[in-house]
């Protein structure tokens, strides 16, 4: 009887966890995912740290814009050096664009000289849906208190043209600069642009 109660309680907790959806200025929902090397990471592992979530699909032209130009890697390098945890998350389902084997992910990440903390695999899309991820890229910033403080686009020019990057206002950099200076994030939400997440 006790075992059944514990199992039932665990079932309720699991359902509650996955029923949660991300909200601005609220606690970012926890999740656990394996990275491209098979190591499991939970958001709760990074308690006290600023965390960036970046939805990724290496074959999407909008993701290519930011990786082929080196823009995304520059952001990753700049902010991880300041102690930020940067998690790239791929929610492409098996057989869909952007879903790759671990070897292929690691090969592509190396070719791009990616500087994220980890590339996480969310092939059942549960974490993507919990965070309302619509596009690749779709960017989120979580502050050191664990609250979601930014959700939206990487920048304000909706295009696949690399030349637009230097003209664009980068929302993620601005949010991170504000968070790291203990300031309130001024632009909390923007409309993301990119390929649809291939759930």
- Catalog residues that contact other proteins under the rule CB under 8 A: 21-24, 59-61, 96-97, 125, 129, 132, 134-135, 151-152, 158-161, 189-191, 193-197, 199
Minimum distance from residue 132 beta carbon to other proteins (Å): 5
Strands 85-90 and 40-42: unpaired
* Beta carbon nearer to other proteins, 46 or 199: 199
Q: How far apart are CA 47 and CA 177, in angstroms?
A: 19
| Angstrom distance (rounded) from CA 135 to CA 63 | 10
Q: Please state the closest distance from residue 153 (CB atom) to other proteins, in A.
A: 10
Shortest CB 25 distance to other proteins, Å: 11
Report phi then psi at 87, rounded to 5.
Answer: -110, 115
Return the number of the residue (102 or 160) whose C-beta is nearest other proteins.
Answer: 160
Smaller CB distance to other proteins: residue 49 or 96?
Answer: 96
**Encoded tokens for 97:** 């664009």
Which lies closer to other proteins via its Cβ, residue 98 or residue 146?
Answer: 98
Q: Could you tell me if 194 and 137 are in contact, meaning their C-beta atoms sit under 8 angstroms apart?
A: yes
CB of 196 to other proteins, least distance (A): 3
């Amino acid at each position: 009887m006790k075992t059944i109660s514990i199992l039932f309680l665990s079932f309720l907790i699991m359902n509650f966890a996955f029923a949660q959806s991300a909200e601005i200025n609220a606690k970012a929902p926890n999740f656990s995912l394996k990275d491209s090397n098979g190591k499991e990471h939970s958001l709760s592992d990074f308690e006290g740290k600023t965390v960036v979530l970046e939805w990724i699909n290496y074959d999407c032209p909008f993701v290519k814009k930011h990786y082929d130009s080196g823009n995304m890697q520059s952001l990753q390098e700049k902010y991880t050096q300041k102690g930020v945890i940067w998690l790239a998350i791929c929610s492409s389902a098996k057989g869909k664009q952007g879903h790759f084997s671990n070897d292929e992910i690691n090969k592509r990440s190396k070719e791009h000289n990616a500087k994220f903390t980890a590339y996480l695999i969310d092939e059942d899309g549960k974490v993507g849906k919990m965070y309302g991820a619509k596009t690749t890229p779709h960017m989120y910033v979580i502050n050191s208190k664990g609250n979601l403080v930014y959700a939206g686009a990487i920048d304000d020019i909706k295009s696949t043209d690399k030349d637009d990057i230097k003209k664009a206002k980068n929302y993620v950099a601005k949010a991170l600069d504000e968070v790291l200076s203990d300031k309130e994030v001024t632009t909390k939400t923007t409309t993301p642009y990119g390929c649809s997440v291939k759930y």
